Structure 1
Amino acid sequence: MTIQLIIDGGADVPKEMMDKYGVLSVALNLHFDDEQLKTDNLDLPTFYDKLKRSSSLPRSSAPSPYDFYEVYKKVDPEKPILVLAISGGVSSTYDSAVMGADMLLEEEPDRKIKVINTKTASCGIALLIHEATTRMEEGYEWNQLVTHMENRAEKVTTLFVLKTLENLIKGGRLDRVKGAIAKTMNIKLILRASLEEGKIEVSEKVRGNKKAIRRFIEQVGEYASNLEDQVIAMSHVNSAERGRTILNDIKEKYKFKDSLFVEMGPLIATYTGESAIVIAFFRD
C-alpha cells in the first residue's frame, strides 16, 4: 500500500485484513488491580478468565503520545500515514495520536501524517479500514483519501446491543440498585455512538432479549435506506454463533453487499459484557 494505515487498541479489525494491508496498531492499557496489560498482548481466553474472577472491571488508559510517535517512526519517511483513532468521545487516545504526530513533524516537517477522530470504535473502525483500502486500490492519492475518509467518518453509525448489564454495574456506569431492578425486569439496552461527538449513549431500553434484537435490526433501516452497495461490520463478545445469526437476519432484511465479522477485543468488551453485539454501517 502506498499509504500507511494505523489504528489503536479500541479497533476490532479482522486479522486477515490487518495482514493483507499491513495495518499497524498502537495498544491501549488495561489495569487489573495492580497489573497493567497491553491490549495487543492479552489473548481473549485469558481476558475473559480475568474478567470473570475480578470483582471490579479493569481500568483502561490511552497510549502515550510517545507510544504513537514510536510507531510513526517505524514507517518509511516517504510513505504518508493515516491514523484512524478510536472516538475522542470515549478515550483520550485520539489526543495522544495527534500529539505523537506533532512530535514527528517537529523532527521531520516534510512528513505527511493525518489523524482522524473516527467517532466510533470496535468494528466501526474495521468498516473505515475497509473503506480506506478500497479507495486506495481504486487509486485515491493522499489528499483525496484524507478528504474522503474525514467525510466517511462523519457518516458511520455504530449500534450496540447488550445482553447483560453486569459490566456496566461493575464499572460504575449504572447504579447498582437501578441495575438490579433492570436485571429483574429483564431490561436490555441498545446503545449508539452519538453522531456529534461519538460518545456512547442509550438509544433504547427494551424488555426481553428477542424484542431487543428485533429493535436492534429495525434501527438499521431508520438510519439508512440505500444499503445494497454497502458493507456492514459486526463484532461480538465471545458469541460467534449468536452474532452470525443476527448478521444473517440483518443481511436478509437489508441486502447489504458484503459484511465484516470479528470478535471484539478486550478494550471494548470490558464495557459491553458477555454476548454483546456491535454493528457499524454508513448512514444516509
Structure 2
Amino acid sequence: MTFRIITDSTADLSEDYLQKNDIAVLGMTVTIGDENYPTVGENALDNDHLLSEIKLGKAVQTSQINSGQFTELFKNYVKKNPEQEIVYLAFSSGLSGTYQSAVIARDMVLEEYPEAKITVVDTLAAASGEGFLVQEMVKLRDSGKSLPEALDVLGDLILRLNSLFMVDDLNHLARGGRIPKAVAMVGTMANIKPLLTVDTQGKLTQLSKVRGKKKAIKALVDMTLEEIDLSYPRITVAYSGSDATAQEVKNMVLVRDLVDTVDIRPLSPTIVTHTGAGTLAIFSIAKKNRK
C-alpha cells in the first residue's frame, strides 16, 4: 500500500466498502433531542430512526469531528509506521469545520512527530460527492500511484466534481444555515423545486428553479449528462427516504447509453439531518471546472 486513506462518515460509503479497501473513517455525531448518536460503528444511527424522529418534530443537529479525535487517529498511525504517508479526504470546509479540526490536529502531531507525513485535503464536496472522490483515490492508490501523483489527479477531479441536488423540504437546510432562508421560502411556493449545486467554495448554491418534482428530476439528469466527462463514465445517485426516485434516475441515465455505471447510495445520517426525507443528489465528473 503506497499511502493510507482516511475519510469521514459524510462520504456515504458503506462499512463493507471501507473495510475491503482499508479506509479509516471518523464519524460526526447526530443529536436528536437530548440524545447523541454515533454515525460509525455497530451502534451507528440509521436513517429510518432519524427520519421518524424528524417527522415527529424532534430537534436534530450535528457535531463536527473535533481535533482531539483526529489527533488520536493520526498519532496511532504514525506510531505504527512513521514512514507511511497518510491522507485525509475531508467533508467540505464550506459546510463544516471538520476540515479545520483536521488541520489543527495535523499541525499538533507534526510538532511531536516531525517525521510524520500527513496530508489533509479539502474535497469541497458533500455526501456521495466526497465518497466519489474517495473511491477515485482508492483506485489511484491501488494502481501504485505515489501520494503526490494521486493528489495531482485528485486536485483536478475536485475542481470538476459535479454535485447536483434537489431537496423536498428546503427548510431543513435553512435551519442549519446551509442556504439562505429566502431560497427556502421560494421552494415552498407553488411546488417550485430549487436545484442546488456545490460551488468552488464548497458551499451550497442555487442553480435554477423548476416547477414540479418530475421536471426537476429530469433537469438534474439532463444537466449531469450534458456536462459529464465520458472518460469517467460513472454516476452516483444518493437519496434519503425511499429509493424509488433514485431507481427512476438510474433508469433514466442508463437508457441514454452514455455511462457504464450508476451507483445508488443512501445519504448518511449526518447529511439527512440537514436535508430530511425526499432528497436526491447526482454526482459525476464534468468536462469543465465547477463554477
Q: Please report the TM-score for the alignment, with normalisation by the length of structure 2.
A: 0.87
Match of 1:25 in 2: 25
Letter in 2 for 1:6: I
Is 1:143–2:148 an aligned residue pair?
yes
Kept in 1, the 8 Å contact 2:187–2:194? The answer is: no
Q: Residues 7-57 of structure 1, C-alpha deviation per residue, up to 9 Å, x if partnerless? A: 11321113332121111111112233333333223122222222222354x
Kept in 2, the 8 Å contact 1:13–1:125? The answer is: no
Residue in structure 1 matching 2:262, options 254, 259, 262: 259
CA drift at 1:104: 1.7
Match of 1:199 in 2: 203
Kept in 2, the 8 Å contact 1:80–1:112? The answer is: yes
- Distance, in Å, in 1 between the alignment partners of 2:71 and 2:257 is 42
CA drift at 1:155: 1.7
The answer to which of 31-40 and 134-143 deviates more is 31-40
Letter in 2 for 1:213: I
Is 1:120–2:125 an aligned residue pair?
yes
Match of 2:98 in 1: 93
Residue in structure 2 matching 1:283, options 266, 283, 286: 286
Residue in structure 1 matching 2:246, options 243, 247, 257: 243
Q: Which runs of 5+ in 2 are unaligned?
A: none
Letter in 2 for 1:69: T
Residue in structure 1 matching 2:71, options 56, 69, 72: 69
- Distance, in Å, in 1 between the alignment partners of 2:187 and 2:263 is 32
Kept in 1, the 8 Å contact 2:29–2:64? The answer is: yes
Letter in 2 for 1:32: I
Deviating beyond 4 angstroms after TM superposition, the runs of 4 or more aligned structure 1 residues are 169-178
Letter in 1 for 2:30: L
Q: Residues 107-138 of structure 1, C-alpha deviation per residue, up to 9 Å, x if partnerless? A: 21112111110011110112112211111222
Q: Give percent identity, aligned residues only.
A: 27
Q: Residues 207-256 of structure 1, C-alpha deviation per residue, up to 9 Å, x if partnerless? A: 111111111111113433x4254221221102222212202212332621
- Distance, in Å, in 2 between the alignment partners of 1:21 and 1:105 is 26
Aligned residue for 2:125, secondary structure, equals: coil
Residue in structure 1 matching 2:236, options 228, 233, 238: 233
Kept in 1, the 8 Å contact 2:2–2:145? The answer is: no
- Distance, in Å, in 2 between the alignment partners of 1:217 and 1:177 is 22
- Distance, in Å, in 2 between the alignment partners of 1:269 and 1:84 is 20
**How many pairs are equivalent?**
280
Match of 1:159 in 2: 164
Aligned residue for 1:274, secondary structure, equals: coil
- Distance, in Å, in 2 between the alignment partners of 1:232 and 1:252 is 14
Label 1:212 to 1:233 Cα distance change in 2 as closer, same or farther (>3 A).
same
Aligned residue for 2:149, secondary structure, equals: helix
- Distance, in Å, in 1 between the alignment partners of 2:67 and 2:29 is 13
Is 1:10–2:15 an aligned residue pair?
no
Letter in 1 for 2:153: H
- Distance, in Å, in 1 between the alignment partners of 2:147 and 2:175 is 44
Q: Please report the TM-score for the alignment, with normalisation by the length of structure 1.
A: 0.89
CA drift at 1:191: 0.6
Q: CA RMSD in A?
A: 2.3
Letter in 2 for 1:71: L
Q: Which runs of 5+ in 1 are unaligned?
A: none
Aligned residue for 1:89, secondary structure, equals: coil
CA drift at 1:176: 8.9
